[in-house]
Amino acid sequence: MPSVAAVKAVRNFSVTFIIRVAYNINIANKIETVNNTAVKRIVSFYFIDKEFSYSLYATNKDKRWELKEYVPTEEDVAFAKRFIDWNNLDWGIQRVDACRSEQGRLLLVELEDLNPYLSLLELTEETRENFIEAIKISLQKALQI
């Protein structure tokens, strides 16, 4: 059974994390435009076994299900990878959702490691096939553990 201190630490972390996510979503809703282009979009980064696989973004904030592939910068992937490393799962699918601040910095919105929606139909055939192959390898590794 976990100690009282451990339970309090987890509870405090959870509350802080939820507040931070709510704050980040609030910032995302306040962003106006950059170069006359709306930037109220969430960018999602998908990882398999801690390796970056692909990235998508919603072209319209009111239709988050309409996604397109996004070619992230090295800095974008490094941002998302920090949360993947923090989450400490050696295998499986993880998704990091982020939005941009008015200064252009990415802000964490959500880290999903349980049943993330993959949006595979929105990917190019090559990206989709690469992802499926990586999933097969991940499952084989998991079954050997």
| pLDDT for the residue 66 | 82
Q: Give the confidence band of 23 by pLDDT, cuts at 50, 70, 90.
A: very low
Residue 99: CATH number of its domain? 3.30.470.20
Instruction: State yes or no: pLDDT of 25 exceeds 60.
Output: no
Which of 29, 19, 37, 35 has its CA nearest to residue 101? 29
Q: Could you tell me the pTM of the whole model? A: 0.67
Condensed to tens digits (0 to 9), the pLDDT of residues 90-107 reads 889 999 999 988 888 999
Region 104-125 average pLDDT:
88
Question: Domain of 103?
Answer: 4-144
Condensed to tens digits (0 to 9), the pLDDT of residues 57-100 reads 988 777 777 889 999 999 999 999 999 999 988 889 999 999 98
Domain count, the chain: 1
Instruction: State yes or no: pLDDT of 22 exceeds 70.
Output: no
The whole-angstrom distance between residue 125's C-alpha and the CA centroid of its chain comes to 21
| pLDDT for the residue 125 | 95
Residues making up the chain, counted from first to last: 145
Per-residue burial over 89-117, b = 16 or more CB atoms within 10 Å of its CB, e = otherwise:
eeebbbbbbbbbeeeeebbbbebbeeebe
DSSP secondary structure, 58-76, as one string = ESSTT-TT-EEE----HHH
